[in-house]
Structure 1
């Protein structure tokens, strides 16, 4: 019998690769997408379409009410999304306070209710500079807590924790994945902006892998 696993699936290219990796490993995948009021909420539509195509169970959870107590992020507040690379200090405005701890806690609860013992999410090394909740020490400590927080231990699985987005894309391309089915841009407009940190890192990954990004860009 296939092992049940929960995958936190935003609809972006990292979680898209993680989702497909878990699916191709033969797991019984349950995808979980969160609507936390992000301005790039069109990624949720991309996530839904992918799960429908793969025949994967998919839940979209509305947690927008938490924005009343989690202020100060350009992804959720009326603050301009910064441009440039994630290595630049101005990208700290895209941090949503305690986001991954909240999302992982909900995903772990879902896993326990399903009888699943693993939760996957797409943290990677490119996030380490700006996002504390994507760093190895955070994942280790979350795993320590999730081993004792319920009667049934749940493991937090991060297949690309020490890999860059360049390496994630290379793995996805080797799997034959179609990245036109993903949305990365922090601005939720008709086309990707090509200037925000998410677009900058995505375009760099495609360029270094020697392939064209199938998404349309404003620039």
Structure 2
């Protein structure tokens, strides 16, 4: 019998690759997406389409009311999304306080209700400097907590924790994945802006892999 797992699936490049990695691992996947009030909620539309095409169990959970408590990010509040290279000084404006601890906690609760024992999560090394809740020490300690928070332990599994977005894309291309099925831009407009830090990092990953990004840009 296939192992049941929960995959935190935003609809972006990293979680798209993680989703397919779980499929390659032969898992029975329960994909979980969150609407936390992000301005780029367009990514959720991409997530829904991919899961429908793959016939994967998928839930989109609206937790946007948490913005009453954790505002102040360019992703959720009325603050301009920073443009330019994906670097710490500007990208700190996109940190949503305690986001990944909140999302992981809910994903673990979902896993327990399904009798699943693992949550796949797309943290990677490119986020370590900017997002504290993507760093190895956070993931390791969160995993420790999730071993004792319920009657049954749940593993937090971040397969690309020490890899860059360039490495993730390389792995996905090896799997033959179509990244036109993903959304990365922090602006949720008709086309990707090509200017925000997320777009810049994505474009760099494609350039470093010697392929053209299939996503349409402004």
What is the TM-score with the length of structure 1 in the denominator? 0.99
* Alpha-carbon shift at residue 179 of structure 1 (Å): 0.3
Q: Tell me whether 1:211 sits opposite 2:214 in the alignment.
A: no
Separation (CA, whole Å) in 2 of partners of 1:71 and 1:36: 11
**Any residues of structure 2 matched to 1:75-86 within 5 Å, and which?**
75-86=75-86
* Alpha-carbon shift at residue 180 of structure 1 (Å): 0.3
* Alpha-carbon shift at residue 45 of structure 1 (Å): 0.3
* Alpha-carbon shift at residue 84 of structure 1 (Å): 1.8
Q: In the alignment, what sits opposite 2:47?
A: 47
- CA displacement 1:167-217 (0-9 Å, x = unmatched): 000000000000000000000000000011100000000000000000011
Separation (CA, whole Å) in 1 of partners of 2:141 and 2:51: 30
* Alpha-carbon shift at residue 21 of structure 1 (Å): 0.5
Q: Tell me whether 1:16 sits opposite 2:20 in the alignment.
A: no
Separation (CA, whole Å) in 1 of partners of 2:184 and 2:42: 10
Q: In the alignment, what sits opposite 2:73?
A: 73
**Any residues of structure 2 matched to 1:66-215 within 5 Å, and which?**
66-215=66-215
Q: Is the 8 A contact 1:86 1:129 kept in 2?
A: no
Separation (CA, whole Å) in 2 of partners of 1:201 and 1:216: 15
Separation (CA, whole Å) in 1 of partners of 2:39 and 2:98: 18
Name the SS of the counterpart of 1:192 in structure 2: coil
Aligned pair count reads 218
List structure 1 segments (4+ residues) > 4 angstroms apart after TM superposition: none
Q: In the alignment, what sits opposite 1:31?
A: 31
Separation (CA, whole Å) in 1 of partners of 2:186 and 2:160: 21
Separation (CA, whole Å) in 2 of partners of 1:129 and 1:65: 28
Separation (CA, whole Å) in 2 of partners of 1:55 and 1:88: 38
Name the SS of the counterpart of 2:58 in structure 1: strand
Name the SS of the counterpart of 2:7 in structure 1: strand
* Alpha-carbon shift at residue 25 of structure 1 (Å): 1.2
Gaps of 5+ in 1: none
What is the TM-score with the length of structure 2 in the denominator? 0.99
* Alpha-carbon shift at residue 5 of structure 1 (Å): 0.2
